[in-house]
Amino acid sequence: MIRDEFEFINKIKSKETQQPSLIKGIGDDAAVFKSSHMFDELICMDTMVEGVHFTKQTMTPFMLGFKALAVNISDIAAMGGIPTYYLVSIAVPKGWTEEELLEIYAGMSKLGKQYSMDLIGGDTVSSPGGLIITVTVCGKIEKGTSLYRHQASSGDIIFVVGQLGASAAGLELLLKHGLTHNYSSTEKLLLEAHQLPMPQVAAGRLFATSGEKISLNDISDGLASEANEIAEASNVDLLIEFEKIPRSDYIKDFPLDEQRRWCLFGGEDYLLVGTMSQAAFQKISETFREKAIMLTIIGEVTIGSGDVYITENNKKKKLLKQGFNHFNKGEDNGKI
Ligand code: ADP
Ligand code: MG
């Protein structure tokens, strides 16, 4: 438990700030920062609930903090933006020590520093049940250049940034063996994909600054779900070829049906899926190669009414918007 709220807030408050636009961070009724006429402002929020999105069996407090911030930065990346600030609300049940709570903040700070982000506020309350952490992230993007889901057009190619499936594979290992099992080095990389996902800010920035018409979504709920969101928002059909989906090098020894499930429905990879014209891809893929960021074509966009299809072994099937269920397979995945 937190002995003194104000003492606790003092401990998580950073001595130096990074963003030049910050006027007042933690310590008053609200944070104040300057906005610029060159940029649009971005803001998003995500919540992680103990027992739904994580347990002490799958994540250390440090990892929880890192991931709670990472999933929000990923949303900024999926708009093409630059993350700037974050705010954190924690509802703390009995049984969590102040040391553990400070570890959560250490995890956030580790990732936040990589992007020169400042923690500028939050709220601290008690919870009768599990720990709940809600993170809000602010970001910015050059005016009028946000990469929306509704920007897919028929004739576009569909692309994925990175390789899919590692996070879901890592979670299955954690649920089976727990945090402290003697994992192989490959297994450790799978665990890390689940526990410490890296948001794709650099890729998002390359897309946003390319000047091309690009639709973009981050892969939080699985490729099937995210592709359906693009198809619906753009009112087109997406046709994905299963064999073209880049699968994580570290899951290739697992049975194919598991690899398939993790890649399509696994989620939590926090990579990016999107669409752009063939000509744009020719131009952009060169830059991605130079920066060693993997960019792969997995299908094409056609005229349609918001559906996603997948071809596998020369058979075409509808790919439904179903996500993988982490802690209660087939029941509650924390969304309502
Ligand atoms: P108020 O009563 O005005 O809401 P609080 O006492 O809740 O202020 O918080 C004091 C300051 O500490 C505020 O700037 C608030 O944003 C910040 N703060 C409170 N809890 C947290 C937290 N868990 N993480 C980060 N900042 C926090
Ligand atoms: Mg308050």
- Distance set, CA 174 to CA 54, 169, 194 (Å): 11, 9, 9
pLDDT for the residue 328: 47
Q: Is the CB of 13 under 6 A from ligand 1?
A: no
Q: Which amino acid is at 314?
A: N
pLDDT for the residue 122: 97
pLDDT for the residue 267: 84
Summarize pLDDT for 202-225 with one digit per residue, the tens. Answer: 999 999 999 999 999 999 999 999
- Residue 238 CA to residue 258 CA, distance in Å, equals 23
- Burial group, residue 317, by CB count within 10 angstroms (0-12, 13-18, 19+): exposed
- Residue 67 CA to residue 139 CA, distance in Å, equals 17
- Give one word for 182, left, alpha or beta, with left for phi > 0 and alpha for psi -120 to 50: beta
Name the one residue in this structure whose structure tokens are 């060693």.
Answer: 292
pLDDT for the residue 327: 47
Nearest CA to ligand 1 atom 9: 123
Cβ atoms < 10 Å from Cβ of 72: 26
Q: Between β-strands 295-303 and 272-276, what pairing exists: parallel, antiparallel or unpaired? A: unpaired
- Give one word for 320, left, alpha or beta, with left for phi > 0 and alpha for psi -120 to 50: beta
Name the one residue in this structure whose structure tokens are 């800010």.
Answer: 201
Cross-strand partners of 74: none
Alpha helices in the chain (DSSP H): 5-12, 61-77, 98-114, 166-177, 185-195, 201-208, 223-234, 256-261, 278-290
Do 142 and 204 form a contact (C-beta atoms < 8 A)? no
Q: Between β-strands 308-312 and 236-241, what pairing exists: parallel, antiparallel or unpaired? A: parallel
Q: Residue 29 CA: which ligand 1 atom is closest?
A: 3
Q: Residue 87 CA: which ligand 1 atom is closest?
A: 25
Summarize pLDDT for 137-187 with one digit per residue, the tens. Answer: 999 999 999 999 999 999 999 999 999 999 999 999 999 999 999 999 999
CA of 36 from ligand 2 middle (Å) equals 28
- Residue 163 CA to residue 295 CA, distance in Å, equals 9
Summarize pLDDT for 2-56 with one digit per residue, the tens. Answer: 778 889 999 999 989 999 999 999 999 999 999 999 999 999 999 999 999 999 9
pLDDT for the residue 333: 53
Q: Is the CB of 121 under 6 A from ligand 1?
A: yes
Nearest CA to ligand 1 atom 20: 123
Summarize pLDDT for 70-124 with one digit per residue, the tens. Answer: 999 999 999 999 999 999 999 999 999 999 999 999 999 999 999 999 999 999 9
Could you tell me the pTM of the whole model? 0.94
Residue 105 φ/ψ, nearest 5 degrees: -70, -30
Q: Is the CB of 88 under 6 A from ligand 1?
A: yes
Nearest CA to ligand 1 atom 8: 29
- Residue 55 CA to residue 326 CA, distance in Å, equals 11
Handedness of CA 219, 222, 227, 230 (dihedral sign): negative
Do 329 and 273 form a contact (C-beta atoms < 8 A)? no
- Burial group, residue 285, by CB count within 10 angstroms (0-12, 13-18, 19+): middle
Q: Residue 28 CA: which ligand 1 atom is closest?
A: 14
CA of 51 from ligand 1 middle (Å) equals 26
Q: What angle do CA 120, 85, 24 make, to 5 degrees?
A: 40
Nearest CA to ligand 1 atom 10: 27
